[in-house]
């Protein structure tokens, strides 16, 4: 059975009431949250006993074979076999009521663990080899879906997979600052990804960059005024397109390079906070409620909110101290945003790039992340349905070090 290619969805029938968002059951044990955490970062891991080597699922506090508490998280390939399958026709869970009939099955992984999994439409009938993937569901918790072993043309268009991801295809996207290197690249990448409409925000239109017209002239792109420092500007745009935005990509940032005591005054730091921190808050207040309300829209539901943060939100680069502080503030704010958006199942994606190759990182030696690579990573994160990404070598390296020892990394950053 093949998946039909997604067609451009018709507009919502205005005489039918809006479908309200519901969530699958979201409670997990503390041990199970580790599985969710790995999936949120794009990894599939299960517990492995350090003492007897057993891999187990569901996650527990001790090994079910030898009672050892020395459990480590082990990457899982997902290779397995569908050993049985069935179709669920009824559920008392509100969330599943609109998804039934729903294919379910038991998958035995090659690690000899059996899990209950949703089945992709193209997943063959039991018994058959499958690929098991872990995804975040609408509740933001890890869940499994079994896929056929080879990719097919419209694999991503499966309705269950689309519940767990935020593929930009046919979706309406707001990019909060199109008048920047990252904004240019994001506009192009989202056109290529098949977005239905791209609203390209521009603050201070008298300062448009050379080459901006090549973005403004792209099909699907509409330039809109948006200044995140101005509450009224944010409200005005929300008033005109807020009820249509399916994916909001907040890439607006103010970036200057100075420590905190080598540049007099606080005006630049304030300007960074105005956009990087308070700007996100203004967006959340103006766009958040409408996006939450439309999260189960029968046509194209609103689905994701992306924040372009910085790897330096985790550990300050002293030569850019004020910028890092504003991004750390934004990271903290985004965690609250995620908690507030989760009731509707809107995914908040945080992007932690290293230095982006733009005019504000001139003296930072390579490797620097090209804006196009950032944009590509954002689109992929939406397609994959992950929550946190660390695109580029520098981000990957610093993230690894941060996980190993945030304290050691703090010292190491002094020399950067």
Partner 1 sequence: MRTTETPASVLGELTQALAAKRLRIVDLSQTLAPGFPQIVLPPEFDQCAPFRMEVISHYDERGPDVYWNNISFGEHFGTHFDAPIHWITGRDLPHASTDTLLESSFIAPACVVDCSADAARDADSLLTAARLREWEERYGRIPPGAWLLMRTDWSKRSDPVAYQNFNEAGQHSPGPDVSAVEFLVHERHVIGFGSETIGTDAGQAAHFRPPYPCHSIMHGNGRFGLQCLSNLDLLPPTGALIIAAPLKILRGSGSPVRALALVERTARHYSSGAR
Q: Is residue 265 within the footprint of partner 1 (CB under 8 A)?
A: yes
Min dist CB 343 to partner 1, Å, is: 21
CA 198 centroid distance within chain: 18
Which window, 86-94, 151-159, 205-213, 401-409, contacts partner 1 (CB under 8 A)? 205-213
- Cβ-count burial 51-65 (b if 16+ within 10 Å, e if not): eeebbbbebeeebee
266 Cβ neighbours under 8 A, 6+ residues apart: none
Q: Is residue 271 within the footprint of partner 1 (CB under 8 A)?
A: yes
| Of 243, 245, 187, nearest in space to 219 by CA | 187
Residue pair 132/126 in contact (Cβ under 8 Å)? The answer is no
Question: Which of 210, 211, 219, 415 is close enough to bind partner 1 by CB under 8 A?
Answer: 210
Min dist CB 255 to partner 1, Å, is: 10
How many CB atoms are closer than 10 A to CB 222? 12
How many CB atoms are closer than 10 A to CB 411? 10
List the interface residues with partner 1, window 111-130 (CB under 8 A): none
Q: Is residue 268 within the footprint of partner 1 (CB under 8 A)?
A: yes
Q: Which is nearer to partner 1, 210 or 219 (CB)?
A: 210
Q: Which is nearer to partner 1, 243 or 271 (CB)?
A: 271
Which window, 54-62, 74-82, 115-123, 261-269, contacts partner 1 (CB under 8 A)? 261-269
Q: Which is nearer to partner 1, 275 or 306 (CB)?
A: 275
Q: Is residue 262 within the footprint of partner 1 (CB under 8 A)?
A: no
Question: Which of 41, 79, 196, 230 is close enough to bind partner 1 by CB under 8 A?
Answer: 230
Question: Which of 5, 13, 206, 211 is close enough to bind partner 1 by CB under 8 A?
Answer: 206
54 Cβ neighbours under 8 A, 6+ residues apart: 48, 63, 64, 65, 66
Q: Is residue 256 within the footprint of partner 1 (CB under 8 A)?
A: yes
Question: Which of 3, 74, 152, 231 is close enough to bind partner 1 by CB under 8 A?
Answer: 231
Q: Is residue 205 within the footprint of partner 1 (CB under 8 A)?
A: yes
Number of residues located near partner 1, criterion CB under 8 A: 16
Q: Is the peptide bond before 284 cis (omega within 30 degrees of 0)?
A: no
Q: Which is nearer to partner 1, 227 or 384 (CB)?
A: 227
Token pair 């502080």 in the structure block, residue: 325
Question: Which of 47, 143, 166, 233 is close enough to bind partner 1 by CB under 8 A?
Answer: 233
Question: Which of 7, 30, 89, 207 is close enough to bind partner 1 by CB under 8 A?
Answer: 207
Residue pair 113/46 in contact (Cβ under 8 Å)? The answer is yes
Strands of 226-300 (E only): list them: 247-250
Taking the CA of residue 317 as centre, how many other CA atoms within 13 Å lie in the half-sphere pointing to its CB?
Answer: 21
Q: Is residue 393 within the footprint of partner 1 (CB under 8 A)?
A: no
Q: Is residue 358 within the footprint of partner 1 (CB under 8 A)?
A: no
395 Cβ neighbours under 8 A, 6+ residues apart: 311, 352, 353, 354, 369
Q: Which residues bind partner 1 (CB under 8 A)?
A: 204-207, 210, 227, 229-233, 256, 265, 267-268, 271
């Amino acid at each position: 059975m093949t998946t039909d290619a997604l067609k451009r969805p018709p507009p919502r029938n205005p005489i039918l009431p809006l479908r309200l968002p519901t969530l699958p059951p979201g409670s997990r044990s503390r041990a199970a949250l580790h599985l969710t955490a790995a999936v949120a970062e794009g990894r599939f891991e299960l517990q492995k006993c350090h003492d007897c080597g057993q891999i187990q699922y569901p996650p527990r506090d001790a090994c079910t074979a030898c009672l050892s508490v020395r459990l480590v998280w082990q990457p899982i390939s997902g290779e397995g076999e569908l050993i049985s399958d069935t179709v669920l026709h009824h559920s008392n869970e509100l969330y599943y009521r609109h998804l039934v009939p729903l294919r379910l099955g038991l998958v035995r992984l090659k690690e000899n663990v059996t899990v209950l999994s949703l089945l992709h439409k193209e997943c063959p009938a039991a018994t058959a080899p499958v690929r098991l993937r872990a995804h975040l569901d609408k509740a933001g918790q890890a869940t499994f879906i079994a896929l056929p072993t080879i990719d097919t043309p419209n694999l991503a268009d499966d309705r269950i997979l689309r519940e767990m991801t935020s593929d930009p295809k046919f979706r309406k996207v707001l990019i909060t600052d199109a008048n920047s290197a990252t904004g240019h690249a994001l506009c192009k990448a989202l056109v290529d990804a098949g977005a239905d409409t791209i609203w390209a925000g521009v603050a201070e239109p008298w300062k448009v960059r050379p080459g901006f017209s090549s973005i403004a002239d792209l099909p699907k792109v509409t330039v809109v005024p948006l200044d995140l420092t101005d509450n009224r500007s944010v409200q005005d745009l929300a008033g005109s397109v807020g009820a249509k935005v399916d994916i909001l990509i907040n890439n607006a940032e103010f970036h200057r390079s100075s420590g905190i005591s080598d540049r007099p005054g606080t005006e630049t730091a304030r300007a960074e906070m105005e956009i990087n921190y308070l700007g996100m808050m203004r967006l959340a207040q103006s766009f958040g409620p409408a996006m939450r309300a439309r999260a189960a829209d029968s046509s194209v539901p609103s689905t994701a909110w992306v924040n372009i943060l910085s790897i330096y939100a985790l550990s300050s680069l002293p030569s850019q101290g004020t910028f890092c502080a504003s991004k750390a503030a934004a990271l903290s704010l985004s965690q609250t945003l995620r908690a507030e958006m989760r009731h509707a199942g809107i995914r908040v994606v945080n992007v932690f790039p290293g230095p982006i190759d733009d005019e504000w990182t001139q003296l930072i030696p390579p490797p620097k992340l090209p804006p196009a690579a950032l944009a590509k990573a954002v689109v992929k994160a939406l397609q994959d349905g992950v929550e946190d990404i660390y695109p580029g070598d520098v981000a990957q390296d610093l993230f690894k070090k941060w996980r190993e020892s945030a304290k050691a990394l703090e010292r190491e950053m002094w020399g950067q």
